[in-house]
Structure 1
Amino acid sequence: MDSQRSSQTSQSSPPPTTDDRDRVGTTRRAYLGGLAAVGLAGVLGTTGSATADVTDVDLPEAYLDRFGTVVDIVDAGADPTGGESVHEVLYDVVDDDTLVVFPEGRYRMDHQFRHTGFTNLGFYGPNATLFHGRIDAVSESTVTEGEFTESARFFRLGVIYNPGTDLLFEGFTFDFTAPDTGLRAIETYVTDGLEVRDVTIAGQHDTGTLGPALFSVTRAAGTGVVERFRAPDGGAFSDDTIGDIWTGPTGMLVDPRHAGTLRVVDCELGPFPDNGLYISGANGTVHVEGGTYKNSNVASIRLMGHGSSIRGATVVVDEAIDGANQRGIRIDEGSDLLVADTTVELTDPNGAAIRVLDDVETARIENSSLYLGPATPERGLRVSRDAGRVEVVGTDVETHGGSNAVYVEGRNTVDDATVLLQDLHITGDAPGVGAREAIRVERANCRLENLTVDQPGDEYRRCLEVIGDDCLVNGGTYTSTHHPIINVGSRTFYDGITARSYDGFEAMKLYAEGTEVVIDDSVLYGGYNDKGVNGLFVHETSFPPA
């Protein structure tokens, strides 16, 4: 049956249950003529927008130009009071080159609306609220008892084997404020031309079913945008619901088979039990632009793909979940990944602010700000040992917990990819308990350039510990209560640095495990503590009193 459906140009499932209803629709000309006929301000000329008809819906002129048919779903027979399900009417009116307009009101849905293989389809309801019938029992992603039946979705628009093309879905509030409410509001598979705007999930998704959104642009050359999608109240863990989906819902999922370019603009998510924004495949590109992502488990944003980016976003963890790992941003897999002009605020930290994982080939973090509060010691930026080249530039880290502001893992072999730390400012009164140093480098071939590290915290707090071999520390100022710099690695080259202990310790401690260490053109207050380095070379360096 599915194979037959996939061969059709456009397919809704299930079919209408009423055979004798005429299609209720108009051409653009008829729609505008109808506005004038009822004595309301119509559209004259080629600019402006369609003003309200009897259901008070304003339509942008661009949408009237785009769609050959515009359908008012109330005129077509839908109940705007929520008494009757709108599914039958939807099956009647949805078609290619059609915009379905929802006037202000409350619309009930009692099972999934599925439509595939479409071309140029739109849904518009800036003042419309959708809600679902009562749910009594859920098994995985299917409602098994209650007024709502079948798959736990409102709209399924396209499937991977029969996607649509050119989809508009704008406006709409999904009401999940009552107990035991929450389904996937919208799931889309579109080859090109995906537009989702101004969708709000009101209330917590607390049924233990599929999260509110899934998006996929299936062709490599295809594009899409999701703008101002809001689910600020997040979702409940399945253990606290009638559902049984693993852990709980994800806020916004980008499907693993996404292959095109998707922009996620000014959205708001969280807290969700299984990631906030979860990009689950590395074949396509996703650009996160602005928006706020809060308190989700695993990660508030998980970034993957080739050339994917996060720009201007705000990520917040201010409500720690017991037993969870709430990373701010998880950079998971792909190449040329970017985080820029982004703020990660962990006032109640429960995971790293940014984690770069092993399958990342190349990544860059620039002009961003990380804040780690004192509640639980957590790392700011953590680079996993097998990750590829990572550049961190022009970024501020303020840390108040006893852990690393930056932790660079590695195998300490000649094959380690370079991690560049450049023009970082690391401040805060983090103590030396848990982890004494603000920056810990365990990887070979790292480059630290022009860093400013100020760590006045107690308990022997330090600035930098270099364990990896063949690292360069070039320029910068390092100030802390204990020894600002600890060296264990071999062939480390310190050039043009200034280091000083607030408590009068030597500026550097050099362990015997490190050989052939060079210190050049530097200022080391209180000198250095040599624990037996073989091949230490110090040149044009001064040692003012500590």
Structure 2
Amino acid sequence: MSERDGTRENRVLNRRTYLGGIAGGVASLSAIGTATATGDYDEVVDIVEAGADPNGDENIVPILEEHAADDTLIEFPEGEYLMTEQFRFTDFEHVGFVGDDATIVPGTVEEMDGRSSTEGSFEGPTRLFRLGVTYEPGDELHFEGFDFDFTRDQSGFRAIEAYVEQDMLVRDIDIVGQHDIGSFGPALFSVLDPNGISYVEGFRAPDGGAYSENTIGSIEDGPTGVLVPGSHQGKLWFRDCELGAFPDNGLYVSGTDGRVVVKGGVYKNSNSASLRIAGDYSYVKGATVVVDDSRPEDGNQRGIRLDAGKHLWVYDTEIRLDVPNGHAITVMSDVEKARIQNSSVYVGDETNHGIVVRSGSGPTDIYDTDVEIDGAGHAIYIQSDGGVVDCYQVRVTGDASGSSGRHAIRCMRDECRFRRPVVKQPGSDYRRGLYIGGDDCYVYSGYYETSHIPIVNASDRTFIRCVTAKSLDGYEALKLLDGTEDAEILSNKLYNGVWDKGSENTTMRDNEHPDG
């Protein structure tokens, strides 16, 4: 049921089973299993036959309000459709809006009061399709096949805002043009039932959004690309989406009670983070995250920010900071457990870090991951006070200097493990490999080759075994700082030996010290 019910006229086509328009997608959607893909509608409405103007001259919202109802599909044939007000439709069940080369064109906005247009042909809140609200959500929503034309100056609306109980499919949506009125970002999606599973596929907003200070709007900082609000409690998939540069995060999961999965897609140049993820068992797989441009207002363009929750995962993902203005991946303090695996990180020629594990965060695994760093900074920076960080088969390369962040890997946390890494850092300014600043750390196997001293131990009860370490500039392979205690250095190949500045009760056995 919508907020406004209308009568159906003879322009409405009645049939039990609707197959046209989405037939080509049924095969792929059958694997998803969402109810919105079944196509069973009591009524199918061709919006043009129902009286809508496909030439973009007349507002279509009255037609939508007249015909939208439960168990109804509204088809949009090829054309341009003008919206000069928000279409608000709540408390519905089994409703579809499907376009076939259909473009939504919003009215003009000349003045804003908060989030609403007060002058121009568009009136009221700057949303277009508002489908469900938290207190009257919809369910079984199918929304597919629309372009939203935001190419006009002072354009950019929330194209779709959807709150559903369990089931939603949003697919093949293109936001064309920059969002530049300083109001709601292009999309919001929320699944309210913890048992609900919904899908957003091919949502694309590559042109990003403008900072509010450069617009007529006043939303703080500027729009978010796609917002998943704190009301979300179900599972929400984002597949093969694309977001450009937004001032307040690209994809932003602002709550921790639901689960979000990002699979594939390209996320670029957003401030704060291009992907900001939270919620137990949420993960990113097969995505590409890029920072290759910055605006004067961009203060911190992280690639991926893991905010909060347990078992957060970044897998098979590429993060490229060609123009770095923030760290590639940050594991925040409220993360209870995280894993970064089979991924690659590139940090260009500016001072930023690759992977940062913040103080207080829980156990974090970094497995089979490549970090290439050309700017000064740490490839991996593990801050103090938190769970064990386990680095396994990590490969660190690049020409980073030691001018700021001297060590490729800097560990300030107790009981961390470094197993079978390959660290090659030939850069200038005394570039080093591994700094051990936490007690009871375990270093096993691996190869460290750096311009300056490859390994520096500054803590107690460090265990180093079966490691090969070599300085390209002829320094010792290992440095033990004054006052460190109870280190065990066993069965290593340490070129040019060990520089012991006054460690105590150190065990050294079966090590080789070839000249290098």
TM-score category of the 2 structures, normalised to the smaller one: over 0.9
Whole-angstrom distance in 1 between the partners of 2:83 and 2:175:
15
1:368 partnered with 2:338: no
Secondary structure at the aligned position of 2:279 is classed as strand
Which of 439, 442, 460 is the aligned partner of 1:469?
A: 439
Q: State TM-score, norm by structure 2.
A: 0.95
Cα distance in structure 2, aligned partners of 1:190 and 1:347: 39
Report the Cα distance in structure 2 between the residues aligned to 1:498 and 1:465, rounded to whole angstroms.
16
> Deviation digits for residues 361-405 of structure 1, max 9, x if unmatched?
00000000000111x210000000100000000000000001000
Any idea what SS the aligned residue of 1:160 has?
coil
**8 Å CA contact retained: 2:8, 2:67:** no
Residues 76-475 of structure 1 aligned to structure 2 (within 5 Å): 76-322=50-296, 323-374=298-349, 376-411=350-385, 416-475=386-445
Q: Is residue 461–residue 481 contact of structure 1 (8 Å, CA) maintained in 2? A: yes
Residue 516 of structure 1: CA displacement?
A: 1.0
Secondary structure in 2 matching 1:306: coil
Superposed CA deviations along residues 314-357 of structure 1, whole A, max 9, x for unmatched, are 00000023351000000000011100000000000000000000
Do residues 67 (structure 1) and 41 (structure 2) align? Answer: yes
Counterpart Cα distance in 2 of 1:501 and 1:61: 58
Give the secondary structure class of the aligned counterpart of 2:110. Answer: strand
Matching residue's letter, 2:337 = T
In the TM superposition, residue 495 of structure 1 has moved relative to its aligned partner by 1.1
Cα offset, 1:59, TM superposition: 5.7
Distance 1:182 1:379 in 2: 34
Q: Structure 1 stretches (4+) deviating beyond 4 angstroms?
A: 57-65
Question: Given residue 304 of structure 1, which amino acid in structure 2 is its aligned partner?
Answer: A
Query: Deviation of residue 12 (structure 1)?
Result: 2.6
Instruction: After TM superposition, give the deviation of residue 456 of structure 1 in Å.
Output: 0.5
Q: Equivalents in 2 of 1:499, 1:61: separation in Å?
A: 55
Letter in 2 for 1:418: V
- Are 1:485 and 2:476 matched, yes or no? no
CA contact (8 A) 1:340 1:366 kept: yes
Q: Distance in 2 between matches of 1:154 and 1:377?
A: 42
- The residue number in structure 2 matching 1:54 is none
Correspondence for 1:540: 510
The C-alpha deviation readout for 1:160-192, integer Å capped at 9, x for no partner, is 011111000000000001111000000000011
- Following superposition, the deviation at residue 26 of structure 1 comes to 2.0
Separation of aligned partners in 1, 2:100 and 2:492: 63
Query: In the superposition, relative to structure 1, how do residues 458 and 160 fare at CA in structure 2: closer, same or farther (>3 Å)?
Result: same
Deviation, 1:148, is 0.6
CA distance in 1 between counterparts of 2:106 and 2:302 reads: 33
Structure 2 counterpart of 1:402, one-letter code: A
Sort the Cα spacing of 1:335 and 1:190 in 2 relative to 1 into closer, same or farther, 3 A. same
In 2, the alpha carbon distance for the partners of 1:109 and 1:207 equals 16
Which whole-Å CA distance do the structure 2 matches of 1:138 and 1:223 have between them? Answer: 36
Paired amino acid for 2:45: V
Give per-residue Cα distances to partners, 1:222-249, cap 9 Å, x unaligned: 0100000000000000011111100000
Alignment RMSD (CA, Å): 1.6
Give the Cα separation in 2 of the matches to 1:390 and 1:60.
Answer: 42
**Corresponding residue of 1:25:** 12
Distance 2:306 2:258 in 1: 15
Q: Secondary structure, in 3 states, of the residue corresponding to 2:183?
A: coil
Task: Give distance in 1, aligned partners of 2:82 and 2:317.
Answer: 39
1:11 positional shift: 2.3
How far apart are the structure 2 equivalents of 1:368 and 1:491?
A: 31
Call closer, same or farther: CA 1:426–1:292 in 2, change over 3 Å: same
Aligned partners of 1:329 and 1:220: how far apart in 2?
A: 25
CA pair 517-369 structure 1, distance change in 2 beyond 3 A: same
Contact 1:24–1:93 (8 Å) recurs in 2: no
Aligned mates of 1:461, 1:24 — CA distance in 2: 74
* CA contact 1:190–1:216 (8 Å) conserved in 2: yes
Q: Post-superposition shift, 1:143?
A: 1.4
Structure 1 residue matching 2:112: 3-state secondary structure: strand
Contact 1:142 1:151 in 2 (8 A): yes
Residue 466 of structure 2 aligns with which residue?
496
CA contact (8 A) 1:28 1:65 kept: no
CA separation of 1:232/1:213 partners in 2, compared to 1, >3 Å: closer, same or farther?
A: same
The answer as to whether partners of 2:339 and 2:365 remain within 8 angstroms in 1 is yes
Task: Report the secondary structure of 2:483's partner residue.
Answer: coil
Q: Which residue of 2 aligns with 1:518?
A: 488
Distance in 2 (CA, whole Å) between partners of 1:64 and 1:89 is 25
Equivalent residue, structure 2, for 1:6 = none
Give the 3-state SS of the residue equivalent to 2:404 in structure 1: coil
Which runs of 5 or more residues in structure 1 are unaligned?
A: 1-9, 33-48, 51-56
Question: Are the counterparts in 1 of residues 351 and 377 from structure 2 also a CA contact under 8 Å?
Answer: yes
Partner residue, 1:3: none
Report if aligned partners of 2:380, 2:408 keep a CA contact under 8 Å in 1. yes
Give 2:429's aligned amino acid: E
One-letter amino acid matched to 2:259: T
Structure 1 residue 21, shift from structure 2 partner:
7.7
Aligned 8 A contact 1:215 1:254 in 2: yes
What per-residue deviation string (whole Å, max 9, x for no partner) do you get for residues 51-104 of structure 1? xxxxxx676596684111110000000000011000110011100000000000
- Deviations along 1:196-241, one digit per CA (max 9) or x if unpaired, are 0000000100110100000000000001000000000000000111
Query: Given that residues 2 and 68 in structure 2 are in contact (C-alpha distance below 8 angstroms), is that contact kept between their aligned partners in structure 1?
Result: no
- When the two structures are superposed, what TM-score results if normalisation uses the length of structure 1? 0.90
CA distance in 2, matches of 1:421, 1:89: 59
Quick one: distance in 1 between partners of 2:338 and 2:475?
Answer: 37
Give the letter for the 1:356 counterpart. Answer: V
In structure 1, give the amino acid aligned to 2:3: S
SS of residue matched to 2:3: strand
Task: Give the fraction of aligned pairs with identical amino acids, expressed as a percent.
Answer: 47
Q: Do the aligned partners of 1:406 and 1:438 also contact (CA within 8 Å) in 2?
A: yes
**Higher Rg of the two aligned structures:** 1
Unaligned runs of 5+ in 2: 27-36
Q: Give the whole-Å Cα distance in 2 for the aligned partners of 1:90 and 1:472.
A: 64
